[in-house]
Structure 1
Amino acid sequence: MLLRLDTSDTRALHEQVAAAIRRAIAEGECRAGDRLPSARALSTALDINVNTVLRGLRELRDEGLLEFRRGRGITVAEGAARRSGLQIKVRELMAEASRLGYSPSDLIDMIRGPA
């Protein structure tokens, strides 16, 4: 898995790490059951702090995309590709809504539809 961070990107580094892995899962570069490199290996390859990488990995774990298992390391969760693709679309929708002046609660109201 080849990850690159964009130095011109204004997002926090941990968000960029999570986005890069999320994209790799959505595009099929990483499949369910695949083992990811260790956080230390990723931090060395990306030349960023290991805690920054861990924060991005925990975000993906919380989204259900990764599993942390003692002795097995970090693996891609079953069904992660579907969830990853949806997460990407949700983030794009949130960014577009924000650009247009809508709040997250406005989006929730739109999704719920008329009362």
Structure 2
Amino acid sequence: MLIGWRPHRRSIRIGPVGRSCCTTAKESIMITPFQIPYDADQAADLRGRLARTRWADAVTDDWTMGTERGFLNQLIDFWRDGYDWAQRRDRLNQLPHVRTTVDGHGIHFLHFRRSAQ
């Protein structure tokens, strides 16, 4: 159970995941489990866009005027060819992600239950 948050001098008490919990007489918050999605087509599109990066001519070979060109090339190469999007998604989805809406704002957070002592 999460307890806390005091916007506009009111307390919000958020109950168990998947249940609605009364916060004020007029308001109720529903917490729902969330899994990070993975779309292979979107990942392929991103790799294609990274491959088509149009590089400006380097003004310097160091960091005095922004990101050093060689470092940036290596970073883009890693995101394009070395980063395993599906594997990272699988690892992140092992965490207890949940979503809710408070005052019209969507909130995504991790919900860890206190271990029994």
Query: Higher relative contact order at CA 8 Å, sep ≥6: structure 1 or structure 2?
Result: 1
After TM superposition, the score normalised by the length of structure 1 is 0.25
Could you say which structure has the larger radius of gyration? 2
After TM superposition, the score normalised by the length of structure 2 is 0.25
Select the structure that is richer in strand.
Answer: 2
